């Protein structure tokens, strides 16, 4: 009995020691982008496995572009490459079904974004 209790406690500590992402970003996100006078809606369909994000972007600088990034402890970072803008990067926070932060649209400049998970 004592051995079983010791083993159970040891396994319990191992489970607590594994980092867990607090927010799963899997789903469809509609993010309003403001690049200081220009912008629009960006639609991201994202999948999260562990802390890794993959998915697609559709919006003003392309359709179905491959997205990669990370999400951990409510912080997201992801990017894609567009023929129209070059490298595009997003960095922000997630709270519930809301995501907001800063974005850099390569040759088009930088700005902010905010939006909701719709599905």
Tens of pLDDT, residue by residue over 30-39, are 999 999 988 8
* The predicted structure's pLDDT at residue 47: 97
Task: Please list, in sequence order, all residues whose beta carbon lies within 8 angstroms of the beta carbon of residue 32, skipping any fewer than 6 positions away.
Answer: 39, 40, 41, 42, 113, 114, 115
Question: Which pTM does this prediction carry?
Answer: 0.80
Which secondary-structure segment (H or E) carries 19? none
Q: Report the alpha-carbon distance of residue 70 to residue 14 in Å, rounded.
A: 23
The percentage of residues in the chain with a pLDDT greater than 90, rounded to a whole number, is: 76
pLDDT at position 107 is 86
What is the Cα–Cα distance from 116 to 32, expressed in whole angstroms? 9
Tell whether the model's pLDDT for residue 20 goes beyond 80.
no
- For each of the domains in the chain, give its residue range(s) and CATH number, in order of start: 20-117 (2.40.128.120)
Quick one: pLDDT at residue 3?
Answer: 55
Residue 43 contacts by C-beta under 8 Å, 6 or more apart in sequence?
28, 29, 30, 31, 57, 58, 59
DSSP 70-81: EEETTEEEEEEE
87-114 pLDDT, tens digit each:
999 999 999 999 999 999 998 999 999 9
Q: Which residues contact 3 (CB under 8 A, 6 or more apart)?
A: none
Residue 14 has pLDDT above 50, yes or no: no
Asked if the model's pLDDT at residue 6 lies above 80, the reply is no
Q: How would residue 40 be classed by pLDDT, with cut points 50, 70 and 90?
A: very high
Higher pLDDT, 78 or 2: 78
Mean pLDDT of the chain: 87
Distance CA 18, CA 28 (A): 28
Question: Cα(first)–Cα(last) distance of the chain, in Å?
Answer: 48
């Amino acid at each position: 009995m004592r051995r079983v209790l010791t083993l159970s406690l040891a396994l319990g500590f191992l489970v607590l020691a594994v980092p867990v992402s607090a927010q799963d970003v899997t789903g469809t996100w509609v993010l309003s982008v403001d690049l200081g006078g220009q912008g629009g809606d960006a639609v991201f369909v994202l999948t999260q496995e562990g802390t890794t994000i993959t998915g697609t972007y559709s919006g003003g600088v392309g359709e179905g572009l491959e997205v990669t990034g990370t999400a951990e402890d409510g912080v997201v970072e992801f990017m894609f490459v567009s023929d129209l803008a070059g490298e595009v990067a997003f960095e922000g926070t997630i709270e519930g079904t809301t995501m907001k932060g800063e974005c850099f649209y390569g040759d088009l400049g930088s700005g902010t974004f905010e939006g909701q998970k719709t599905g």
